[in-house]
Chains A and B, each alone.
Chain A
Amino acid sequence: MTVILNQSFTGISIGAVLLLIALGLTLTFGQMGVINMAHGEFIMAGAYTTYVLQKSISSAGVSLLVALPVAFLVAGAMGVLLEWLLIRRLYTRPLDTLLVTWGVSLMLQQLARDIFGAPNVQTHAPDLLTGNISLGGGITLANSRLFILGLALLSVLALTLILKLTPLGRRIRAVVQNRDLAEVSGIATERVDRTTFFIGSGLAGVAGVALTLVGPIGPTMGTNYIVDAFLVVVVGGIGQLKGSVITAFALGVLQSVLEYSTTVSVAKVIVLVAIVAFLQWRPQGLYTLRTRSLA
């Protein structure tokens, strides 16, 4: 029982990481149909931002707190740049954005290698986040994982509030539901797209900050997470926050429980089979926007 509980908590914390990454993807994928493979490199940018800040601010706690907004801005700015330079030219063929942004991600990885070197680097976690909380009965929760979980939930909350309550959120939802109708109603869809891309990419930066607490920082760190995060979006339903939240935690727990009962590699295969089976039942994902379009 203890093992299962511990394993579930590990799963939930894997899910929290996936969720942080998938949140941004849901936004950009959902609204613009853009498959941004460079999203993983925005995560990397966020992680390196933390690393650089820690070099200049000695206190680990302060630098982490400063890193959160700075990484959001850095990654967001990179996203806007990518959108402005490339993606807006490709709206008519969204599938091709996958390959184009993959090219961008290759270049960004090499850039990171040239600037920071190929080997992984480490940051120091603040003392507050290095320990464990023991709940008795052998169940322990790592502080850093709890922090990530909190960060993920906070991000979901903030994003939900933005989408539900602000004028910007209303515009974003309008564009997701019907781009043409939104445009004729006077919404500057291009500007909304860019803002969405900024927020989505910025969230990747925040995810990068969180990842520095649980793993090394390296040029290819984003690639390790990007496919899983995309699977979360596909299963959750495109453009659906609810779906992403449920799916991220479900996949995380499934993965870690399977890892315990089999091996890491077999668990990956089983999760994939489960996803294909799930899509038989719900080809459009857990939650879908009802539309009359055929495609």
Chain B
Amino acid sequence: MTTTTTTSPAPPVALLERFRVPAGFALGAVLLLGVAPLALSDFRLSLLAKYLCYAIVAVGVSLAWGRGGLMVLGQGVFFGLGGYAMAMHLKLADAAATGQTLPDFMQLYGTGDTLPWWWEPFANPAFALAMTVLLPMAVAALLGFFVFQRRVKGAYFAILSQALAAALAIWLVGQQATTGGTNGLTDIQGFFGYSLDDPVNQRMVYFIIAAVLLLLMAAARQLFVSRYGELLIAVRDSEERVRFLGYNPANVKLVAYVIAAGMAGLAGALFVPAVGIISPALIGIVPSIGFVIGAAVGGRASLVGAVLGAIAVAWAQSTLSDAFPAAWTYLQGLLFVVAVGFLPGGLASLGIVLRKRRAGTGTGTRTTGETA
């Protein structure tokens, strides 16, 4: 046969391939924005809103860890910074609505009746909203710059990011008078003037979260297929080679880390109106690793896999952990062992692995995340 191009219409398979991504995106949008709000009760929908917040974090994890090989074990820090920035504003707004100058917990534990200086700017909604994203990104940029520039990588980076999560959680617990300590910021009533007790407004929060998730997935997908996305994978797989080609891997990694941090911050900010609380227990070492496991189960390098994995793990956690706390802990441990140990590509790679098994070639998937 010759290689001349034909004018006949593309075969169905190729057509399917071409529209796979937009079609999948549209399907996701219909499911999240149309089917779920119609089919689910208010209670279930608010739970889904919470899971979707974790999914937003997973989008960032997929970028930084799946594509960039950076084992980000401290996403809780950024989630927490975003969440606290939002919660501080909402607490101040709640207080102002009832004619108080101080949030309720400060009246209980506070030392005086003046607001701490670093709380004051958060009364401004625009400032607070900007901070939910900029603050995490700034912290990530600062840590990332120093760490990547000196080529601290792999396990060193993972442990440092984890230590950061521990440090923030401990610091927050220690500052009870100004951060609510172990309790965190609780009992949030309003969301920019809308009462969160009203189920209609809860639905609105759900729609905002779902829309943000879809937008960020679309943006991340564009980033994955861009030149930068290629470079990021190259850095993951062979950092030295990328350096010899004239790029600076430190910058490439820094961008991925900062974007992932921004996404986690946004997720934390949206988590607050959806759940009504942010506390150190949600951002320490354990939940920080929890942010990673969803992505690992679904498939860290696959965007859809990571998102679905995060939703599924969060769903399993809240369904099982109340009824069978012990069994859930065993299952969670087993998930780590099986998903990461034996299926490094996650469930997204299950098809490929099985096909390979059947064909008798190779034993596993390509490993990822070797060189953070």
Contact = CB atoms under 8 A, between A and B. Distances in A.
B155 A268 contact: no
B115 interface: no
B340 A269 contact: no
B163 interface: yes
Nearest to A105: B333
B341 A86 contact: yes
Given A268-B167, A276-B147, A110 B160 contact: no
Interface in B328-372: 329-330, 332-337, 340-341, 344, 367, 369-372
Interface string B31-46: 0000000000000000
Nearest to A113: B326
A249 interface: no
Contacts of B370: 93, 95
B329 A93 contact: no
B340 A107 contact: no
Contacts of B292: 99
Interface residues of B, number: 51
Contacts of A230: 159, 162-163
Nearest to B162: A227
Given A33-B155, A96-B344, A265 B333 contact: no
A227 B163 contact: yes
B84 to A, nearest CB: 15
Interface string B139-162: 000010011001110111011101
Contact of B155 (A92, A98, A113): A98
A79 B326 CA distance: 23
Given A99-B340, A272-B167, A110 B329 contact: yes
A6 to B, nearest CB: 22
A35 B155 contact: yes
With most chain A CB atoms within 10 A of its CB, the pick from B159, B162, B292, B326 is B159
B48 interface: no
B336 A283 contact: no
B86 interface: no
Contact of B333 (A89, A106, A275): A106
Contacts of B146: 276-277, 279-280
B333 A276 contact: no
Interface stretch (B98-106, B169-177, B196-204, B211-219): B169-177
Nearest to B335: A103
Interface size class, chain A: 35 or more
A147 interface: no
B293 interface: yes
Interface string A92-121: 111110111011111101100110000000
Contacts of A269: 167-168, 170-171
Contact of A93 (B152, B334, B367): B367
B71 interface: yes
A29 interface: yes
B171 A265 contact: yes
Contacts of A160: none
A280 B145 CA distance: 10
Nearest to A93: B367
B164 A90 contact: no
B108 to A, nearest CB: 19
Given A86-B337, A93-B369, A100-B340, A35 B158 contact: yes
B174 A265 contact: yes
B230 interface: no
Given A230-B159, A279-B150, A268 B367 contact: no
A110 B369 contact: no
A208 B167 CA distance: 24
Given A110-B326, A227-B162, A227-B285, A99 B293 contact: yes
B174 A234 contact: no
Contact of A29 (B155, B171, B329, B341): B155
A197 B344 CA distance: 24
* Most A-side CB within 10 Å, residue of B172, B285, B335: B285
B296 interface: yes
Give the interface centre of A263, A265, A275 by most chain B CB atoms within 10 Å: A265
A287 to B, nearest CB: 15
B159 A103 contact: no
B120 interface: no
Q: Which 5 residue pairs of A and B lie closest in terms of their CB atoms, listed nearest first?
A: A103-B336, A265-B174, A107-B333, A106-B333, A110-B329
Given A223-B286, A269-B167, 13 more contacts: A35-B158, A96-B367, A98-B158, A100-B337, A102-B289, A103-B332, A104-B333, A231-B159, A272-B164, A276-B146, A276-B160, A279-B147, A295-B371
